[in-house]
Amino acid sequence: MTYVIAEPCIDVKDTACVDVCPVDCIHPTSSDPRFEEVNQLFIEPEECIDCGVCEPECPVEAIFMEEDVPEEWTHFTQLNADYFQ
């Protein structure tokens, strides 16, 4: 199980979640050149330790446990994984 960033993050990219992540699995960071190229942040599913620290930090409530992603946003699970391929 992992956390997933979904649609509410699009065009927001607030990095509060990045700042609290203990394993640095949320990308791109604001210092990454790709930050301006993407419209949302992504969670690396292989690195996420399911700690949940990021979820309450998200000001737009875009972070969900994989099993709790709303049905209309389930494709974001694959989008998060694909970003790291």
Q: What is the pLDDT along the chain (85 residues), one digit of tens a residue?
A: 799 999 999 999 999 999 999 999 999 999 999 999 999 999 999 999 999 999 999 999 999 999 999 999 999 999 999 999 9
Query: Structural domain tally of the chain?
Result: 1
**CA nearest 26: which of 50, 12, 43?**
43
Question: CATH number of the domain that 44 lies in?
Answer: 3.30.70.20
Q: Where does residue 42 rank: exposed (0-12), middle (13-18), buried (19+ CB within 10 A)?
A: buried
User: The domain containing residue 32 runs over which residues?
Assistant: 3-83
Q: Specify the pLDDT at position 12.
A: 97
Q: Specify the pLDDT at position 60.
A: 98
Q: Specify the pLDDT at position 33.
A: 94
